[in-house]
Amino acid sequence: MRKRQEQGFTLVEIMVVLLIIGVLVTLALPSWMGARARAQARTCVANLRQIQQAKEAYALATRARNGTPVSMNDLVPTYLQEEPRCPAAGGAPYTVGAIGSPPTCPTGLPNHSLNWNGD
């Protein structure tokens, strides 16, 4: 009986596979990073809307007028279950602002803000 000699992969084959994986990662990474940034922006805007709605409910309940300062302590836990934080800012808190002004994100990025009408 002849002995069957088993062979593994050659160094060239392994290097080709690693090259292909590297190219695929290089092509996919920017797409993944863009999707991550868009998801963080959407979450941030949703949090800002939630804070704005809580401010409006607070203003109605306390008969507060435009310009009345509001803090997160005024909103949590009565109007918000917990303090929302921006995922893109490493969990930094939002600036609530006064009644009549929108809350702001600590990142200052343009896609992390509400329009003046709350959209």
DSSP 28-56: HHHHHHHHHHHHHHHHHHHHHHHHHHHHH
Tens-place pLDDT, residues 11-29: 999 999 999 999 999 999 9
Buried b (16+ CB within 10 A) or exposed e, 42-78: ebbbebbbbbbebbeebbeeeebeeeeebebebbeee
pLDDT, position 117: 53
Name the CA radius of gyration of the chain, rounded.
Answer: 26
Q: 118 pLDDT band (50/70/90 cuts)?
A: very low
Tens-place pLDDT, residues 71-106: 999 999 999 999 999 999 888 999 999 999 999 999
Through-space distance between the first and last CA atoms of the chain, rounded to whole angstroms:
80
Q: From CA 50, how far away is CA 34, in angstroms rounded?
A: 24
pLDDT, position 6: 72
Identity (one letter) of the amino acid at 41? Answer: A
Q: Would you call 14 helix, strand, or coil by DSSP?
A: helix
Q: Which residue has the higher pLDDT, 4 or 108?
A: 108
Across 2-9, average pLDDT: 74
Q: Decide if pLDDT at 67 tops 90.
A: yes
